[in-house]
Chain A
Amino acid sequence: MDPKTYIASGILEQYVLGKLSSEQMEEVEQNATQYPEIKEEIEAIELALEEYALLHGQTPPPGVLSTILQTVDERGAQAQLKGKSSSRTLLVITWVLFFAAALGWLYAYQQNRTWEDKVAALSTELNTIETACDNIQEERDRLQQELEFLRNPDTRNTRMNGTDLSPEAIASVFYNPASEASLLDVGSLPVPPSDQQYQLWAIVDGAPVSMGVFEVNTDTSGLQPVAYVENAQAYAVTLEPRGGSETPTLEQMYVIGEI
């Protein structure tokens, strides 16, 4: 491209006058960066039109400048105010969130304490129930064993009837020579004074042999294991001082039963 021809074509005047499309404008600007004489020519045209325009100046009505400056000021102030108010909003939001979080934490804390209390209560209850369950299990096992003992075909039963001292009283001894075990059914023996205890005797060849002392109170009931004595011909219960006696106090015999 010859810059002189390009300049002479009048396109630069059109460019400065703003008559070109954006593509054409770009092309001119491209050429201007490439050819200094084109750039100079553009500047000369610009300058001529500028000077001519400056000669034609007409003073605008007064107050326009102050309006412009005021608008610029107001916009700046508004932008600042916007920034301030938005930062204030942010502060408010932060506080609201903070309080919400604090409230939430407090609620969760209270809730947690309530749950902890409930868990503790339930844990105690569970413990109690477990203990009760263990006791029942023990009791059941004992009853099971007793039942097995009583149902054993080798187990015999000797009923002891009340003497004149207590005609209503009844007690029984269950004994099994095969397993050499005895059980005492305290039956309907009356509850003794606290300083005295019942003692069970076996009569072997006319002589009494102690089978041990035993308790009779409202809590104990049913069967109690007692010592096994071989070749007993009779069983009797006497009331003795606490701890038992070497020989039975015959005046205090409550029940007796022969085999």
Chain B
Amino acid sequence: MSEPAAPVEPVRHPLPPELIHELRTPLTQIIGYSELLIEQAVEAGDTGYLADLRKVNAAGYRLLALMEESFQSVRTPAPATDAARGPACIPQPDEGADATR
């Protein structure tokens, strides 16, 4: 009888900046359309879908926060050792990246 598997710790790797850029387009649509539908539902007094629409919107912002977190971790200056610098294919964003986004 094998021993139960140890709980797997979630591994978070920084997303490449170009992938973050690509993800922003569909995320813009998820957040934007959900906000548009929320506005319309509120105006129409249609509360049937409002709670679910707000969940979709909140999930979009949660995903945005995770992307920003990943973006910030990529921005953190890397140690001077090659081994610690990560894959060479990941471009390093500018040091002066906008901290608000």
Chains A and B belong together in one complex: no
Taking Cβ atoms with an 8 Å cutoff, the residues of A that contact B are none
Taking Cβ atoms with an 8 Å cutoff, the residues of B that contact A are none
